Amino acid sequence: MSQWNWKPERTQGVWRTGPAWLRPFLAAVPWITVLLLVLMFHIVGGTFTSAEGVLIDLPDSAELRDGEAAALVALVMPMPRETLVFFDDGRYAIGDDASASAFGAHLEEQAAKTERKTLLVLADRRVESGELMKLAGIARSSGMERILFAEKRARKVEE
């Protein structure tokens, strides 16, 4: 209590025990923990930025064209449980390994018959990008030099 007994004297709490030289370090421990946590986020964050995938090499600006003639055309459609590829009167499921390897063999066989090794892919907008990357990987391993993903252009309404 104070000398007039209005309020009790202030105690040192947890600081009353332990050596005096350790007290500044103990006060800095929460800040050291935060800095260590930020450092760990930085280290772990760098490992997730690189991943395997299909590298698409874009042409130089001198070679840019609106389109290219392609003899090989694949239609990609999403279904409720799988993604189907229709190619040369055949139907293949990208998610099934046996079907995907059969598609790759069929694509390689057809690519050997054509001079231009360009595949035109007509994909629905609901097809996941991962499935398109699998298709691009299969096409690359089958000997395709270029893969052209078709785009939908807005039509002008004429009256």
Q: pLDDT tens digit string along 7-32?
A: 777 777 767 777 888 888 888 999 99
- Burial of 60-95, coded b for 16+ CB within 10 Å and e otherwise, reads eeeeeeeeeebebebebeeeeeebbbebeeeebbbe
Quote the pLDDT of residue 6.
78
Quote the pLDDT of residue 11.
75
Q: Would the pLDDT of 56 be above 80?
A: no
What proportion of the chain, given as a percentage, has pLDDT over 70? 76
Q: pLDDT tens digit string along 92-134?
A: 999 899 999 999 999 999 989 988 888 888 888 888 888 899 9
15 Cβ neighbours under 8 A, 6+ residues apart? 23
Note the pTM of the prediction, 2 decimals.
Answer: 0.56
Alpha helices in the chain (DSSP H): 23-47, 97-113, 129-141
Quote the pLDDT of residue 64.
43
